[in-house]
Amino acid sequence: MNNISTTFTANDLLLMLQGAGVTFLLTIVSGIGGTVLGFLIGWGRSLRAPWLYYPLGAYIEIMRAVPLIIQFVLMNSFMAILGYAINPFLSGIISLTLYIAAYVAEVVRAGIDAVPHPMVRAARGLGLGYIQAFRLVVVPLGLKTVLPAWTGLMLGLMKDTSLIAVLGASPPELLRSSQIIITRIQEPLAVLTGAGAFYFIMCWLITLAVRRYEQRPLLQSLGR
Amino acid sequence: MKWTNLTGLFGAIGLAMMTQTASADMLDDVIAKGELRCGVMLDVPPVGMRDNSNNPIGFDVDFCNDMAAALGVKAVIVETPAPDRIPAILSGRVDVGVASATNSLERAKSVGFSIPYQIWEVGIATAVDNTSINSEADLAGKSVGTVRGTTGEVAFLDVYEKKLKAAGTTYTSYGSNAEQFLALSQGKVDAIVESTTIFGEYLKGAGAGKIKICCSMASAPSDWTGLMVPRLEQGMLNWVNLFVWHQWKNGRTNELYKKWFGYDAPNMSYPGVSSY
Amino acid sequence: MLNYRFQWRAVFKHLPDLVDAAFLTLQITVLSVIIGLAIAVILAVWRRSENAWLFWLTATWVALARNTPALLQIYLFYFGLGAYGIHLSPYAAVLAAITFNNAGYLTEILRGGIDAVNPSQGRAALGLGMTPLQVYARVIFPQVFRAVFLPITNQIIWAMLGTSLGMIIGLQELTGMTTFLQSQTFRPFEFYLAAALIYLVMVETVLVCARLYARWAFRW
């Protein structure tokens, strides 16, 4: 039975590439979900209504105070004892979304606070409604200030998706597929260095894409 | 009896059958669904691992396939790493855990264990050129590597607390066998303590010419493992127990031992006591 | 429906083990932030240096620390150096990796803080007759410190949570200890919940101290 190859095969490379794809997918899905949720939380906190401000604040504190590994395991076990047989992959996405939303919320609030109040009052004075003023003045101005911090969060998120490996979620993401290969060929160093290079390239691509976006005329015209 | 009455009767029976399905036990559910989902650890060669095309293979995988065949259903292998073994069973994401789990009384407070289906021995391995460690007692003053939460670690810790700690032995508890083997081959630890079955597999592959099995952990009790089902699924447990017994009776357990571990299956009943 | 009964007895029995492990987590966190900050100050200054070598050394450090998973960094410090015969203990390897990571992020934080100070202030202070050292100590540093205080607090918390990855290479810190105990009892939910609570207490302690200090120092 022992015809197991102990060298790195073409199949393994394929598995790692597929893993990189899953990492990317996880990042995008939970990144979008987390940004939407985080935006709502950050906006809710910026209203400064006590009944909203403190519960949301507590949520943010908790999500930022517990290691993601533990959040993954807890979410997975929690779903289990509630009797929901959702697979670890989905429970991982839920964990990642809830986790990154807490960070996004803080960034969003900082962005909203960064827009000078006189400006908002001026917009309201010109006859814009609350939503219009928010959409036309606060969002574009805030966006400019939060974009670097938000990019940082998304890069962090991509690296954090690797922790989903503790659940053995299938299909495997990049780190998990590396571990699968390592279990067979027992060469952790080479495989992990390769995985590191993948992460590095993906981070670099995202940074580049955001920098492109930042240089769009609309954002440029808003100036410093 | 009029026809209408008959229809009513059949209707009532049909209704009774439908309500019956709702309250059926897991065994009925598995048969009705036509698939048996097994939770298997795939990072513990040779009981669970992946082949060159990354398909699951190993002792536990075969055991699951046999069980599904005996039930007349399709086998579905679900990978459950150590921290997911229990949540997977509690949530009903898997029907049965085929994950080489030691049947400790502490664990049996959380899940239901079958009768033993594998017995593991704990051994000590060193680098191939190591001449200073020839018995368990020689671990005094050396550095030792284990894998967190495994029986090897528990057996080692027992001796460690009693004797070795005072003699200056240090130990490191790694995340998985991959790290443990790498630590030994890099000389970070002098010896590793693990199931001899796992050593055997490593010796056939990447560890050939690098490590040797030095000796058995004489003080360690042998490690009896069972299949796992939800604690309240007594009907399923009865069937699983009988299945494990039949695997023995028809020689399949021995066959799997030879195929994956390379030796005959040890006697799985304890002398002087019935059942276990 | 919730047909699960929580069993906390095992957790209470092992609480001393968890607390011991939490102290180890705390210890590595404090050391890695102090050393990381010291390195970051040097790197942030080098980052502005004219010397191309120093500039590129800093840029590489920052890029590697920020763009690869921390788990990988821990692995490389332990097994990567091991392949060349340099053997760090798990404790030293985790400390080195988290420090390396901290230094990268803190350098960027400090750079941002220094950039935030208007350079004309420095020139003005020089014009008023201050020595360059005085300019740094009295004018630049207080402003930089204020700007970077909050991000550094966040980095301390990140470092604390990051130590949990050390369990892979055998560090018995809080997460590692929790993983060990749950595997013996098959009570993952109870043990991980207890660990989450301990982390929460530690993080909140850091945050409350930081906020009190900030209120006192910057009158926020």
**Domains of chain A: which residue ranges?**
10-221
pLDDT of B252 reads: 96
* Pick among C76, C94, C169, C178 to test the B interface (most B CBs inside 10 A): C169
Q: Do B188 and C4 touch (CB under 8 A)?
A: no
Task: Give just the sign of the alpha carbon dihedral A185, A186, A192, A194.
Answer: negative
Residues B92 and B166 placed together within one structural domain of the fold:
no
C154 touches chain B (CB under 8 A): no
Question: Is residue B16 domain-resident?
Answer: no
Mean pLDDT of chain B: 86
Residues B65 and B187 placed together within one structural domain of the fold:
no
B111 touches chain C (CB under 8 A): yes
Pairing of strands B49-50, B56-57: antiparallel
Judged by average pLDDT, the poorest of B81-85, B136-140, C163-167 is B81-85
Task: Please enumerate in sequence order all residues whose Cβ is within 8 A of that of C183, keeping only pairs 6 or more positions apart, or say none.
Answer: B82, B83, B148, B149
In the block, residue with structure tokens 């932030």 = C33
Question: Is residue C3 domain-resident?
Answer: no
* CB within 8 Å of chain C, chain B residues 164-223: 172-176, 179, 182-183, 186-188
Phi-psi map region of B115: left, alpha, beta (phi>0 left; psi -120 to 50 alpha): beta
Q: Do A180 and B51 touch (CB under 8 A)?
A: no
B129 touches chain C (CB under 8 A): no
Q: Give the span between the Cα atoms of C107 and C62, in whole angstroms.
A: 7
Which positions in chain B touch C168 (Cβ < 8 Å)? Answer: 174-176, 179
Peptide bond into C132 cis (omega under 30): no
Mean pLDDT of chain A: 85
Q: Give the span between the Cα atoms of B157 and B153, in whole angstroms.
A: 6
Question: Is residue C1 domain-resident?
Answer: no
- Measured in angstroms, the CA of C202 and the nearest CA of chain B are apart by 24
Residues B156 and B205 placed together within one structural domain of the fold:
yes
* Sheet strands (E) in chain A: none
Best mean pLDDT range from A93-102, A105-114, C121-130, C160-169: A93-102
Structural contact between residues A186 and B205, judged by C-beta atoms closer than 8 angstroms = yes
Q: Do B106 and C182 touch (CB under 8 A)?
A: no
* pLDDT (mean) for C55-70: 90
pLDDT of A193 strictly over 90: no
pLDDT of C217 strictly over 90: no
Which positions in chain B touch C6 (Cβ < 8 Å)? Answer: none
C121 touches chain B (CB under 8 A): no
Q: Do C72 and A192 touch (CB under 8 A)?
A: yes
pLDDT of B19 reads: 46
Question: Is residue C22 domain-resident?
Answer: yes
Note down the domain range covering C103. 9-218
Total beta-carbon pairs less than 8 A apart between chain B and chain C: 74
Residues B32 and B107 placed together within one structural domain of the fold:
yes
Phi-psi map region of A186: left, alpha, beta (phi>0 left; psi -120 to 50 alpha): left
Looking at the domain A10-221, which fold is it?
A: MetI-like fold (1.10.3720)
Q: Do C195 and A70 touch (CB under 8 A)?
A: yes
pLDDT of A217 reads: 60
* Pick among A81, A84, A182 to test the B interface (most B CBs inside 10 A): A182
* pLDDT (mean) for C151-164: 93
Q: Give the span between the Cα atoms of B150 and B173, in whole angstroms.
A: 10
The CATH number assigned to the domain holding B88 equals: 3.40.190.10
Note down the domain range covering B65. 25-119+224-261
Report ipTM for this prediction.
Answer: 0.82
**Confidence bin at A223 (pLDDT 50/70/90):** very low
Mean pLDDT of chain C: 90
The three-class DSSP label of residue B117 is: strand
Number of domains in chain C: 1
pLDDT 10s digits, A23-55? 999 999 999 999 999 999 999 998 889 999 999
* pLDDT (mean) for C188-204: 94
Question: Is residue C154 domain-resident?
Answer: yes
Take residue A66 and report the two structure tokens written for it.
Answer: 């517990």
pLDDT of A172 strictly over 70: yes
pLDDT of A1 strictly over 50: no
Structural contact between residues A57 and A63, judged by C-beta atoms closer than 8 angstroms = no
C65 touches chain B (CB under 8 A): no
Q: Give the span between the Cα atoms of A72 and A75, in whole angstroms.
A: 5
Which positions in chain B touch C82 (Cβ < 8 Å)? Answer: 182-183, 186-188
The CATH number assigned to the domain holding C80 equals: 1.10.3720.10
**Confidence bin at B2 (pLDDT 50/70/90):** low
Number of domains in chain B: 2
Question: Is residue C212 domain-resident?
Answer: yes
Q: Do C185 and B106 touch (CB under 8 A)?
A: yes
* pLDDT (mean) for A77-104: 89
Q: Which of C87, C168, C189 lies closest to B175 in CB terms?
A: C168
pLDDT of C166 strictly over 80: yes
**Confidence bin at A224 (pLDDT 50/70/90):** very low
Q: Which of B50, B79, B80 lies closest to A184 in CB terms?
A: B50
Nearest residue on chain C to B232, alpha-carbon basis: C3
Q: Give the span between the Cα atoms of C143 and C124, in whole angstroms.
A: 15
DSSP B6-62: HHHHHHHHHHHHHHHHHT--HHHHHHHHTEEEEEE-SSBTTTBEE-TT--EESHHHH
pLDDT 10s digits, C68-99? 888 889 988 998 888 788 899 999 999 999 99
**Confidence bin at B5 (pLDDT 50/70/90):** low
Structural contact between residues A146 and A107, judged by C-beta atoms closer than 8 angstroms = yes
Question: Is residue C129 domain-resident?
Answer: yes
